[in-house]
Structures are given as C-alpha cells and as structure tokens.
Amino acid sequence: MIETRYLTKTYGKLTALKELNLTIDQGDIYGFIGPNGAGKTTTIRILATLLRPTSGQAFVCGLSVNGQAREIRRKIGYVPDEFGTYEDMTVTEYLEFFGALYGIPPKERKTVIQGVLDLTDLNFKEHAQVDSLSRGMRQRLALSRVLLHDPQVLLLDEPASGLDPRARIEIRELLKELRNMGKTILISSHILSELRELCNKVGIIEQGSLLFSGPLSEAIARVRKGDVVRVRLREGSEGAAALLAEHDFVNAAQLDEEGFVEVRLREQIDDYTFVPEFLVSKGYKILELREEDVDLEDAFMKLTRGQVS
Amino acid sequence: MIGAPVIQRELLSFSRRPRTYAFQTLFLGVLTVGLITWWPPVGVSSADVADRARSIFEYGGYLQLLLLAMLAPAFTASAITEEKRGNTLDLLLLTGTGPVAIVLGKYISRLGILLFLLFLTLPLNFALLSLGGISAGTLLKEVALLCSLAVLATALGVFLSTLATRPAGALLLCYTALGALLAAPYLLKSLGLLQGAVLTSSGVPIEPTVSPLWDMHYVFHPSRHVATESEPTYWWVFPTVSVAASVGLVLFAALLLPRARAINSRLSARRLLEALDFVLGYLFALKPRYRALLARARGQDPGEAIAKHVAKKEARPIGRGNPIYWKEVTVNTVARMKHWWRLNLILIVLMFGSYSVFRRLPPLSPGETNLLSDPMLHKLLVAVLGGLLVLLITVMAATTVSREREDGTLILLATTPMECGTYVAGKTLGILRNVSFLALVPFLHVVIFTAMGLLTPWSLVFLALSIPSALVAATLQGLLVSLMFRTTLKAIVAGIALIVFQFFLPAVCCLPQCNLPATCYYVIEGPGGFGGTATAAITLAIGFGLCVQVVYSFVLYSLIRGGFDQYIGRAG
C-alpha cells in the first residue's frame, strides 16, 4: 500500500532522509518512531505529496508521488502535526467545504458529513464555530475531515501531541475503530505506549535512516537478548548469587536493594528456564521469579543513539 | 548603552538574512543604473553637464525618497509583531530589559540599517558633485531630508508594530501613513485647497513643512514656493519636526509595549469590522416589527416570516459552486462583514456628495471656472481611482494565499485533489466580487459627469474596455506574488514594489498602455470629444484592455499553473 525505495530528501547541506526503504501493507497500522528531527515528518509529507523527494521513489496505493500527486490525494487522508482553522466557519460548513474540495456531490455531502460526525462523536458540536473548539475536538474534527472521502490510507503526524489524557484516550479509541474498518494507517508519535496498543508494525528512524522496520514483536525480540531475570529466595541469596555468577550462561549475578538476585544472562541466551532448575538442584527454595519486561520504549532506546540530523 | 543586547541581537539577525543584502543591492543597483543611464555624454558643453548633473541629483533624490518610503516599513513592520507572534515578547520583558530598552533597541538597529543604505549612496552623490551644478550645501540638505524621513518612517513602523497583531497589518498602516504624508500636499494642491505660495505668519511655506517630498522640491526650486526668497531658508522645519515626532512615537511605543497584547485584542481588525457591522446593521436592517407588519400585510404568519428570514440569512450552502469562491465570499475578513455592501454604498454616496459641495465652492480667483468643470481634474481623478483600485486588488490578492500559509490552513488545502484552475478561479472571482462595488466608482464618476455634460460618453466606453481586464490582471499578479512568497509581509512588499514599477513603466518606455492610471488619464475627455485623437484613444483603450492586459493575465496564469504544486507544496 505504501512503499519507498531509496527515498532521499535534502535541504541544502542537510540530509533529512537517507535512502529510506519502507513497505507498509494494506491494513497495517504502522507506528513511525524516532527522535525529533529524525525525518518522520519529512517522510509523511513526501507521502502526502507536499514535498518532492530529492531522489528515490515513493508509492502510495501503487501511485508515484512524482507525477501522480492528484490521484494520490484522492486516496489519502493527512492530518499534519500543526494546522490552523478558519475563522467564522461552523463544524458542518468546514466539513462541507472540504467535502466539496474532495468532489463529493452536494446530494451525498450531508449524509457523508453526518456519518463522519457520528464516527468521531462530534454531532453535538455540528453548529459550533471551528475556532472555538478545544484542541482535542479540533483533532477529532481533523480526523472527520480526512475521512470524508473514505481514503484507503491515513497519514497521521503526531495526532495525540499536546492533548490532555482524556482527549488522548478518545483519539486512541477512534484510531482503533479506524483500524477495525480496515484502513491502512501510518502514524508517527512520541507516545510509545499508545503505539504499542495500536500498531502491528513499527519503523524506527534516526538521522534520516531507518534502523528497524517490521512487526512490533520482532522489534521487542531484537532488544530482548541479554535479558535480566530477578529471583527471590527464602534464604541464602548471597551464596546463590555467587554460584550463578560462575554459571556458563550467566554474565553477572548480584543482590539488588530489594533482596532479589539479579541475574544478567549472556547475549546469546534466550531461554532462562535453566535458572530455577539450577537453583533448585543446589537446594535453594524459590519464592518469586520475574523476567524484566522489555517494551517499545526499551526497543526505541536501544536501537537509537539519541542523535538528530 | 541602553538596549545594547537587543541591538546586538537584531543586527546579528539582520546580517544573517539574505534579504538585507538583497535590499542593499536593489537600492544601490537602481540608483547606479539611473546614474549611468543619465550620465552626460562626452563632448557636451560644461553648462549642459552641470544642468544634467542637477537633474540627476534632483530625480535621484526623489527616487531615494520613494525607495526609502518603501523599504522602511518593510524593515520595521515586524519589529515587535514578530516578538508577539513568536511569544518572545513576554520573555524579553521578564528579563528585566525595560520596554524603553526593547523599543529603542529595535528602533536603533533598524534605523542603523537604513542610514547605512544612505551612507552607501554617498560616493554616487560625490561623483555628481564633480560635474558641477550642485553645491555641497544642497547635497547636505538632501541627505538631511532623507535621513529625517528614515528617522520618522522607522519610528512610525516600530510604533505601528507595537499596535498591530500581524506584520502585514503594521506594514499596510505604515504604507498608508507614509503615502498620505508624501501625497497629501500634492492632492490638496491639485484640488486647489493648498496654493503654491501659502506662507505661515513667520513666512514659512506650508507644503514643505508637512511632506518630505515637497521639502525636497522646496530645496531644489525655492522660488516656486516662496517668490521673494532665492534660498530655501526654512527647509529644516520638516527634519526637525520629524525627529521630534520620532522621539514621541518611540517613547509612546515603549509606554504601550507592556500592554501590547491587551491593545491587540481591543484593536483587532476583526473587532473593528464587527463593531462597524453592528452599527450599520442597526442603522439599516429592517426592524423585526416592520418585517412582522410586512408579513401581516401579505397575509403571512409574522413569526414564521421572521424565522424564515433569519434562517435564510444564516444559511451559507456551498452547493455545486466553487468551494474556494464560497470561502472567499463567506468567511474572508471582508466578506464576513455582513454590511460590507452598505459600507461601500455609504462611501460612494459620501464621495459624490463631496462633489456637490465642491461644485458650490466659489472659483479660487476671479475669471476662473469651477474646478469640477475642468476635464483635467476628471482625467486626474479617474487615473488616481484606477491606480488605487489596482493597488487595492493587488494587495488584497497578495495577502490571500500567504495568510493561509501563515495561519496553517493552506496545508489542509494542499492535500486535497483541488485543481489549479478551481483555486485560481475561486480566489480571483471572490476578490473581484468583494471589490466590485468599489470598482464601479470610476464608471459612476464618468456617468455622472457625462450626464452633466462635462465629459464625452465615449470616455465611458473606453473605460469599460480598459478597467475589467486590468482588475483581473491585478488579481492574478497579486495571487502569483502571494503564492511565491512565504510571508504576508514579503508578499505585500513585493506586490507594492510591482505596482510602483508598473506605475513608472509609461515614463520609462513612453507607452501609456503600460498601466491603468495612464490609460484612464488618456481615455477621459471633455464634451468636445477626442477630435482628431479619437482613433488614438480607441487604439489605446483596446490596446491596453484587450491586448496588453489579456496577454499579461494569460502569462500570469501560466506562471501560476506551472508552479502551482510547488508553491502550494510550501504550505508546511
């Protein structure tokens, strides 16, 4: 559905994107993650036909951004990170205006607008002035706007940025609904916990280069190597730590502040079941065993170096 | 030094902007090209060389004055507004830097840039001195006048920047004020309200004391202002008043600075328009009780009739029409004013009402006819009205796209499958509709005075051939400028520069077809008609309206179409 091949964008001497290769299939919810200035917005704007790539190619629904921009615009819905609103326009007028720009016939417009207002729960604001809406409401209105022409692809640049917790949860629920409708969504965000709930694939970008692109589970598995396992014993924790430290599969073992034995496994060891087996064989009684959780934030922190282009 | 950190930051910022150097190059380039073009050829007598030097010096002075009046607002309109828009004004005030230091810092740095520009022209002036015909005293007076205009224009720009919310607002106000300052004595004089040698009780001629343009004229031609004097004795009045006024404006701006946001919210154009709209609505709208009476007379239910009327007024359906046109005529700042047409009507009635007052005024001297009977006045008036229309439409069009870009709404349009033709047609027709009533003014003027037997009916025909296409071209050139420039400030400056260039074109290439004011001037004639020049007038009107402007509009549209995606793509 979305594909980029060696996509490069430079601004003078600054390279914002370096030969980016990205593939997003139909129905994917793709989380685009990266530090500020990594090239996320540039990529999304190229896909939204707002920027021309310096070199390389980008395709949306099989159409090239170089030369088929107008056709692409009929198939995408783009919500920028920052956008303005028209003064003295009601919510319905705003949607009618964009409906007309997307070429929706006047007879169908009312039904379509009612439909998207229902979906985004904005019916009660249909006569409100757009510039009087809160930020959360505006973001919902922006989603209503991009759904007017029933696009196959949604490009969402930081849709939850600057929203209060309630508005963020509401947007997340709305995006889940869109996911269930089978839309292909490319979403960039800094709120990684929310992306984990929404996305089936992620891409991690830094300094214009894609460091990782693939299923979320694979991203987590990639940083899971060298896990930490924490064990609480009934007694003899210090002796157990010393014994474990000498084990072939263990990199280090020590007591932590809470009295747990913290066992750091060697990088190539994925399976930690040998730890309880070894301890039981040595006569220790295990009260609790915890695997240190690895999430998207860990993956992000381990894969990126905190540099911007 | 007071305001030193602000001055340092401003100068650093100016030195990093390419446009600073572009302005300097433009300023010096125009003057140098003028100097080279007019430089006396070899073999001319020394008296002729001196004459030529004096002419170059004089017209060079006027040119510098005009360029300064154009550049000073462009340099100063963003002085405080950019701090307000970037939310950095509060930070500056919180640092303990007082408002006087901030305003002075902004003022001195910008004034420094303009004075540096004038300083760069000194070698050109000294080159002229070597030709003779000009005294060092005249040179010093001219420099003093130009400096005083820079001092005043910068202060005015900084002051208006404190009052305005957007740089474009400050810029337009500043241009209006400077335009009035430069042109007021001339306009008053052409209407006969200010005579050539009116003196105050102390013997100072009036015009040079209120306008730098006339002060410069006074310096070069003192005998045209004060018959008994051979030297321009009172040339220093305007510079002195300018410096005093500048100090006052800067201090007043400093006084207002801490309250700038509160002033902005009270003085916003939107609020003013709404207030005016309310007054007009109150004065003109048919009161509900009369509407009810009317409904009863028609045998309708009054409540239902009023509700239907309100619903009809509030409904703004797009239907099958062009959505961009709908937006221009519905939510545009001007269009939002429900009583815009009534305001136009009032202005037109006031304008024509003033004619009847002028008509009753006694002649200025015995034997002279009333001014309104003179076709020359009508030629001038229609030319000025035509020029103002072109200026107004170009500036309106120049703000339309760049403002959407600044407001962050263009990016939303840019990702719709909107065609270039839809966008341009919507914008052009919308702008023309909003000014259509004002565009009728030159026609109405000619209609009235033709009916009174003071102008020939052919003038109306020629005007109808000339004006519509010129207005379409003005809209398209404004749109192109607006698409090309990132900020409204730059778009307005570029639009006005383009208009000034066009207004000078007939003088440069000796073709009156080059702009609307010149064409208007030539196609207006008295009751005697055009006589032997009728064919020339027809050719001029058709040549201007149907050839030059149509071709120009086509070229402009092609340029817009060619770069549309690129220009719109800059939305973000």
Whether A99 and A163 share a structural domain: yes
Q: Do residues B54 and B134 lie in contact, with contact meaning Cβ atoms separated by under 8 Å? A: yes
Q: How confident is the model at residue B571, as a pLDDT?
A: 47
Residues A275 and A286: beta-carbon distance below 8 Å: no
Is residue A309 a part of any domain in this protein?
A: no
Same-domain check for residues A157 and A237: no
Same domain, A171 and A260: no
Q: What is the mean pLDDT of chain B?
A: 81
pLDDT class for A308, splitting at 50, 70, 90?
A: very low
Tokens of A119: 């979906």
CA distances B543 to B381, B387, B466, B512, Å, are: 22, 18, 9, 10
Determine, yes or no, domain membership for A300. no
A298 in any annotated domain: no
Phi, psi for residue A288 in degrees, rounded to 5: -155, 145
Q: How far is B337 from chain A (nearest CA, A)?
A: 11
Check B316 against A73: CB less than 8 A apart. no
Instruction: Nearest chain B residue to A99 by CA: give it.
Output: B323
Q: What is the DSSP string of B202-270?
A: TS-BSHHHH-HHHHHHHHH-GGGT-TT-SS-TTTTHHHHHHHHHHHHHHHHHHHHGGGHHHHHHHH-HH
What is the predicted pLDDT for the residue at B336? Answer: 66
What is the rounded distance in angstroms from the CA atom of residue B168 to the CA atom of residue B201?
Answer: 42
A73 and A131, same domain (yes or no): yes
Over residues B259-268, mean pLDDT: 78
- Cα separation, B433 vs B429, in Å, equals 6
Q: Is B384 on the interface with A (CB under 8 A)?
A: no
A73-119 pLDDT per residue, tens = 889 999 988 878 787 788 988 999 999 988 888 888 889 999 989 88
Q: What percent of chain B clears pLDDT 90, i.e. is strictly above it? A: 14
| DSSP secondary structure, B334-350, as one string | TTT-TTHHHHHHHHHHH
Considering only the beta carbons, identify the residue of B330, B407, B415 that sits closest to A78. B415
Interface probe for B, chosen from A47, A50, A102 (most Cβ of B below 10 Å), is A50
Domains of chain B, residue spans: 4-191+243-267, 272-314, 327-569
Closest CA to B520 of B373, B351, B385, B355: B385
pLDDT value of position B352: 77
The answer to whether residue B210 neighbours chain A at the CB level (below 8 Å) is no
For the domain that residue A232 is a member of, what is the CATH number? 3.30.70.100
* Amino acid in the structure at residue A73: R
The pLDDT-based confidence of B479 (bands split at 50, 70, 90) is very high
Of A41-50, A290-299, B121-130, B438-447, the poorest mean pLDDT is in A290-299
Contact (CB<8Å) A89/B331:
yes
Chain A interface, best mutation among B271, B320, B413, B416, by max A CB count within 10 A? B416
* pLDDT for residue A119: 87
Whole-number pLDDT of residue B149: 94
Q: What's the pLDDT tens digit per position in A239-297?
A: 889 988 888 888 888 888 888 888 888 877 777 888 889 899 989 999 988 877 666 77
- List CB contacts (< 8 A) between A101 and chain B: 323-324, 413, 416-418
Residue A57 in domain:
yes
| Block residue for tokens 């006074």 | B218
Report CB contact under 8 Å: B572, A50.
Answer: yes
CA distance B427 to B404: 12
Are B318 and A106 within 8 A, CB to CB?
yes
Distance CA B343, CA B521 (A): 28
Residues A218/A295, Cβ–Cβ less than 8 Å: no
Nearest-Cα distance to chain B for A37, in Å, is 15
| Local structure of residue B514 (DSSP, 8 states) | G
* Band of residue B370 on the pLDDT scale cut at 50, 70, 90: low
Is residue A12 located within the same domain as residue A58? yes
Taking alpha carbons only, the member of B459, B467, B445 closest to residue B372 is: B445
Q: Is A44 part of a structural domain of the chain? A: yes
> Do A187 and A283 fall within a single domain?
no
B368-387 mean pLDDT: 80
Q: Are B134 and B280 in contact (CB under 8 A)?
A: no
Residue B151: pLDDT over 70: yes
Residue B499, CB-side half-sphere exposure with 13 Å CA sphere:
30
Structure tokens at B28: 């010096």
Report pLDDT for B147.
94
- Is the same domain home to A199 and A234? no
Flag if B417 and A97 touch (Cβ within 8 Å): no
Is A87 in contact with B419 (Cβ distance < 8 A)?
no
pLDDT of residue B152: 95
Whether residue A308 lies inside any domain: the answer is no
Residues A196 and A276 in one domain: no
> Two tokens at B71?
């550049």
Shortest distance, CA A142 to any CA of chain B (angstroms): 9
Angle, CA of A265, A268 and A270, to the nearest 5°: 70
Tell whether B403 is within 8 A of chain A (Cβ): no
Check CB contact under 8 Å for B318 and A96.
yes
pLDDT tops 80 at residue B277 = no
* Residue B124 structure tokens: 């050109």
Phi, psi for B293 (deg, rounded to 5): -60, -45
CA–CA separation, A287 vs B337, rounded Å?
Answer: 77
Chain B closest-CA separation from residue A213 CA (Å): 26
Closest CA to A83 of B137, B400, B404, B293: B404
A32 within some domain: yes
B335 touching chain A per CB within 8 A? no
Q: Indicate the SS3 state at residue B204.
A: coil
**pLDDT at residue A129, rounded to an integer:** 86
Choose among A39, A32, A53: nearest CA to A308: A39
Q: What percent of chain A has pLDDT over 90?
A: 8
Chain A contact present for B85, CB below 8 A: no
Substitution target in B330, B337, B400, B415 with the highest count of A β-carbons within 10 Å is B415
Per-residue confidence (pLDDT) for residue B434, from 0 to 100 = 86
B475 confidence band (pLDDT: 50, 70, 90): very high
Among B320, B417, B566, beta carbon nearest to A73: B417
Q: Which of A221, A254, A270 is the last residue of a domain?
A: A221
- Considering the domain architecture, whether residues A260 and A165 belong to the same structural domain is answered as no
Section A19-44 average pLDDT: 87
B-chain CB neighbours of A73 within 8 Å are 415-417
Query: What average pLDDT does the structure give for chain A?
Result: 84
Nearest-CB residue to A101 (from B323, B566, B569): B323
Q: How far apart are CA B165 and CA B266, in angstroms?
A: 11
Does A18 lie in the same domain as A78?
yes
Do the Cβ atoms of B14 and B113 come closer than 8 Å? Answer: yes
For residue B481, the tally of other CB atoms under 10 A from its CB is 26
Q: Of the segments A126-135, A145-154, B44-53, B349-358, which one has the largest average pLDDT value? A: A145-154
pLDDT given at position B253: 92
Contact A73 B320 (CB under 8 A): no
Instruction: Write out the residues of chain A at the interface with chain B, using a CB-CB cutoff of 8 A.
Output: 45, 48-52, 69-71, 73-74, 76, 78, 80, 82-89, 93, 96-98, 100-103, 106, 145
Say how many domains are in chain A. 2
Q: Which residue has the higher pLDDT, B337 or B88?
A: B88
Complex ipTM > 0.85: no
Q: Using DSSP, state whether A192 is helix, strand or coil.
A: helix
Q: Name which of A148-152, B191-195, B302-306 the model is least confident about.
A: B191-195
3-state secondary structure of B37: helix
Q: Which of A51, A89, A102 sits opposite B416 (nearest CB)?
A: A102
Q: Which residue has the higher pLDDT, B529 or A145?
A: A145
Check whether residue A245 and residue A176 sit in a common domain. no
Q: Which residues in chain A touch residue B336, judged by CB atoms under 8 angstroms apart?
A: 87-88
Domain-embedded: residue A299: no
pLDDT at B70 over 90: no
Q: What mean pLDDT is predicted for residues B359-380?
A: 70
pLDDT of B473 over the 80 cut: yes
- CATH number at A104 reads 3.40.50.300
Summarised one tens digit per residue, pLDDT across range B186-222 is: 777 666 666 555 555 555 677 777 888 888 888 888 7
What does the pLDDT look like over A156-174, one tens digit per residue? 988 877 777 787 888 888 8
Q: Please provide the distance, in angstroms rounded to a whole number, between the alpha carbons at the two ends of chain B.
A: 40
Confidence of residue B476 (pLDDT cuts 50, 70, 90): very high
Domain assignment of residue A238, given as a range = 228-293
Q: Do B318 and A100 touch (CB under 8 A)?
A: yes
Residues A28 and A87 in one domain: yes
The string of pLDDT tens digits covering residues B396-426 is 999 888 888 888 888 888 888 888 889 999 9
